[in-house]
């Protein structure tokens, strides 16, 4: 079994090969196939590229650790791995899938292991016009994905990690990670929809930053519990109606 700490002990090229062989063979191969399409201006390929990068980042974040208490929180590692996805293909030692995985492994070693990163420099041979097009497509794809995924939108609004959502839903974190890529299963969809609806209401009705505090604040109306505790108790439908009523000003109009 591959552990996070194994990536720190190996040379970068050896660590990347282990990851590609043991953990991400399909992702590396998929990136290898999609990169020529990205280079030729295929918009759909950009979306696929981002999905593969996200899958690789999640897989690396989910690696077991020998000493987990000595590592940063998984949400921090995941965010650092996936940040600046625009620059990945230009900073990669090669333009194929293995090169991009190598950069992600390098970031993992830097974030979680404190090792110096060696893949940070971008190539000097960059087509400025294509780079600008790519940046725009990545921004549009990220926006479209966030809007299309109620769960991801709620997580952003309420500052929830995959582990937080797993606790609310009574599942493992890995299940939530899969939902973020493929959507929740039908039996989980109603609760996910309720969480998303609560997040949407709070985002539109409260100032930036307040929804995060509101869902974590115990309230008498919820029996001294927080909104998150109410959701975890499977009282999400009642909570959604309560939140809707709180912002329904028609009776006093």
Both 107 and 165 in one domain: the answer is: no
**Which of 18-27, 79-88, 138-147, 229-238 comes out lowest in average pLDDT?**
138-147
State pLDDT tens for residues 154-165.
898 899 998 999
- Tell me which of 56-60, 225-229, 236-240 is least confident: 56-60
15 with 46, same domain? Answer: yes
79: in domain: yes
Beta strands in 17-172 (DSSP E): none
Q: What is the pLDDT of residue 147?
A: 62
pLDDT tens string 44-68: 888 888 888 888 988 898 899 999 8
Domain end among 104, 131, 158: 131
Does a structural domain hold residue 13? yes
Contact between residue 60 and residue 105 where contact means Cβ atoms under 8 Å apart: yes
126 and 236 in a single domain? The answer is no
- Predicted confidence at residue 12, as pLDDT, reads 94
Task: Identify whether residues 42 and 157 lie together within a single domain.
Answer: no
| pLDDT tens profile 74-85 | 777 877 887 777
Comparing 159 with 89, the larger pLDDT belongs to 159
Same domain, 72 and 182: no
- Which of 131, 159, 189 is the C-terminal boundary of a domain? 131
Start-to-end CA distance of the chain, whole Å, equals: 63
Instruction: Over range 6-22, report the average pLDDT.
Output: 93
129-142 core/surface letters (b: 16 or more CB in 10 A; e: else): eeeeebeebbeebe
For residues 118 and 159, state if they share a domain.
no
Q: What is the pLDDT of residue 253?
A: 47
Average pLDDT, the chain: 87
Q: Domain of 84?
A: 4-131
On whether residue 243 sits in a domain, the answer given is yes
- Same domain flag for 95 and 160: no
Domain boundary among 98, 131, 164: 131
Q: Residue 241 pLDDT > 90, yes or no?
A: yes
Indicate whether 39 belongs to any domain: yes
Q: Is residue 73 part of a domain?
A: yes
219 SS3 class: strand
Q: Are 120 and 179 in the same domain?
A: no
Residue 142 falls within a domain, yes or no?
no
Structure tokens at 104: 């992600």
Write out pLDDT tens, residues 103-148.
999 999 999 999 998 887 777 777 788 888 888 888 887 776 666 5
Q: Is residue 140 part of a domain?
A: no
Helix (H, G, I), strand (E, B) or coil at 132: helix
Number of folded domains in the chain? 2
SS3 225: strand
Length of the chain: 253
Q: For residue 43, which of 179, 147, 139, 152 has the smallest C-alpha distance?
A: 139
Q: Are residues 14 and 43 in the same domain?
A: yes
96 and 208 in a single domain? The answer is no
CA 103 vs CA 60, 170, 173: distances in Å: 12, 34, 25
Cβ count near 159 (within 10 Å): 14
Pair 125, 24 in one domain: yes
Same domain? For 158 and 101 the reply is: no
Whether 139 is in a domain gets the answer no
In degrees rounded to 5, what are phi and psi of residue 238? Answer: -65, -40
Residue 212 to residues 4, 21, 158, Cα–Cα distance (Å): 31, 40, 5
């Amino acid at each position: 079994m591959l552990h996070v700490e194994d990536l720190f002990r190996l040379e970068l090229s050896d660590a990347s090969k282990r990851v590609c062989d043991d953990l991400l063979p399909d992702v590396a191969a998929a990136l290898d196939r999609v990169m020529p399409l990205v280079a030729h201006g295929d918009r759909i390929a950009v979306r696929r590229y981002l999905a593969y990068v996200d899958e690789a980042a999640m897989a690396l974040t989910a690696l077991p650790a020998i000493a987990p208490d000595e590592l940063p929180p998984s949400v921090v590692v995941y965010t650092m791995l996936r940040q600046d996805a625009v620059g990945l293909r230009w900073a990669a030692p090669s333009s194929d899938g293995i090169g991009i995985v190598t950069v992600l492994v390098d970031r993992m070693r830097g974030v979680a292991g404190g090792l110096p990163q060696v893949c940070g420099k971008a190539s000097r041979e960059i087509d400025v016009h294509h780079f600008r097009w790519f940046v725009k497509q990545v921004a549009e794809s990220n926006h479209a994905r966030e809007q299309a995924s109620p769960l991801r939108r709620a997580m952003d609004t309420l500052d929830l990690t995959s582990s937080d959502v797993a606790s609310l839903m009574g599942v493992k974190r890995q299940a939530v990670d899969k939902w973020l890529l493929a959507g929740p299963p039908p039996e989980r969809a109603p609760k996910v929809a309720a969480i998303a609806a609560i997040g949407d209401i709070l985002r539109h009705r409260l100032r930036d930053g307040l929804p995060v505090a509101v869902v974590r604040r115990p309230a008498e109306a919820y029996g001294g519990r927080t909104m998150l505790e109410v959701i975890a108790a499977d009282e999400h439908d009642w909570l959604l109606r309560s939140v809707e009523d709180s912002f329904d000003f028609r009776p006093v109009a």
